[in-house]
Structure formats: C-alpha cells, structure tokens
C-alpha cells in the first residue's frame, strides 16, 4: 500500500503574489492543502473554493500566549468567510505548539473536531490521547537544502506524512522576510525531479487522514 502525502502550502492571504504561486500548484495537482492567514488582506475565498482536491485550513496567528477566545474568533472569522469550518489547524511560526498555547489549541480543535499539525512524536502522542487527528510524520525544508528534502521524502516510512511548503512568487511590496525564497520553492515543487519522487505517494488532503 502506498504511503499518503499531504503537501500543505502555508501563508495563503499574506500576499497576492504568494497566493498566485499557491493557486498555481493546487491547479497542477501538487499542493493538496493550504492554510489561510485569516487576519491578512489578500484573502479571496472564491479563488480557493473553486479549486478541486484541496483542503483549506486555518493558519493561526498567535502571540507567545494567546487567549482561547482569540483563537476561537479566528475560526469564526474563517467560517464566516468560507462558509464552513477549516479543514485543520496549524500555526504561524509553530506558535500553536508553544506550551502556553498548546492546551488551548487542542481544546478548541477537540470542540470543532479539527485535525492539527504536529511536528514531533511527543506532539502526536498528546494529540491522539486527546482524540485529535494528525499526520504520522512532518517534513519541513528550506530551498537551500533540496537534496535533504528529496532524501527525507525517499526515506519516509510513515503511513501519512505532511510536507510543509511556502511557495509563491517574489513580491516587492510584501513585508515578509521570507520572500525570494518562495520562488525557489515554487520551482522545486514544479520540477520533474520532485514530481518523480512524489509518484511513490498517494497525494491526499487533510480531510482524508
């Protein structure tokens, strides 16, 4: 049986140029999931809702210690804009996994029956004990380490794997420090070498874990 791979593009809504890259990869069947920064101005729900075979999650923007009410408010804003709840939760800069936020995120995820991104076996153990779905493995990468990305994918043994990515096109107007690198990611994800590697997986969305 093939292993299952979710390719999740973070930061939808941060920039029109970043959004364009994400939508292109969804259209090509490479990105199967994205998470929306609901506080940002460049969100066009219609553009995402028109796409097929993609899960649309919430990229929580949290502080070092965010009140549960603020987390839940982001879910409510998302559901109002998209007409449904997010497919899953993750957090900008992994702040959803900070000890000061983690238990509150899990409580809200449990309430709305939402899967949550995990990055370690410890995270997964706690989530699953709480009855929260999460992939079995998490792979992050930097465009300067393409060889490591390919090695990690080839050696992945878990049943379900989430691959994090930050694709997009360079946006001179964006304030994000991670900007030109997104274009490098974009080209790697479109490359023949990457496509050949991911053929060994069944590409799935977060709703399918």
User: Domain residue spans in the chain?
Assistant: 4-203
This prediction's pTM:
0.97
**Would you place residue 1 in the very low, low, confident or very high pLDDT band (cuts 50, 70, 90)?**
confident
Q: Which CATH superfamily is domain 4-203 in?
A: Glycoside hydrolase/deacetylase (3.20.20.370)
Whether the predicted pLDDT of 138 surpasses 90? yes
**Would you place residue 75 in the very low, low, confident or very high pLDDT band (cuts 50, 70, 90)?**
very high
State the Cα–Cα distance between residues 112 and 116, nearest whole angstrom.
11
CB 11 within 8 A of CB 43: no
Evaluate the CA torsion angle 65, 112, 160, 57 in order and state its sign: negative
Residue 59: partners with Cβ closer than 8 Å, 6 or more residues away: 10, 11, 12, 13, 35, 36, 37, 38, 90, 91, 92
As given in the structure block, the two tokens for residue 67 are 């009140």
């Amino acid at each position: 049986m093939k292993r299952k791979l979710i390719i999740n593009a973070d930061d939808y809504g941060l920039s029109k140029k970043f959004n364009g890259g994400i939508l292109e990869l969804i259209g090509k069947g490479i990105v199967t999931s994205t998470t929306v920064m609901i506080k940002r101005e460049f969100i066009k729900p219609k553009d995402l809702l028109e796409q097929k075979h993609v899960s649309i999650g919430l990229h929580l923007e949290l502080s070092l210690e965010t009140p549960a009410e603020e987390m839940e408010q982001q879910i409510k804003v998302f559901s109002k804009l998209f007409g449904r709840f997010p497919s899953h939760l993750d957090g900008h800069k992994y702040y959803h996994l900070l000890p000061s936020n983690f238990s509150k995120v899990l409580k809200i995820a449990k309430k709305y029956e939402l899967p949550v991104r995990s990055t370690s076996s410890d995270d997964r153990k706690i989530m699953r004990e709480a009855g929260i779905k999460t992939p079995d493995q998490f792979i992050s990468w930097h465009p300067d380490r393409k060889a490591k990305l390919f090695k990690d994918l080839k050696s992945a043994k878990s049943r379900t794997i989430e691959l994090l990515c930050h694709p997009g096109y360079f946006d001179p107007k964006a304030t994000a420090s991670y900007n030109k690198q997104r274009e490098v990611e974009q080209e790697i994800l479109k490359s023949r070498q990457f496509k050949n590697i991911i053929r060994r997986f069944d590409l799935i969305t977060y709703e399918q874990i």
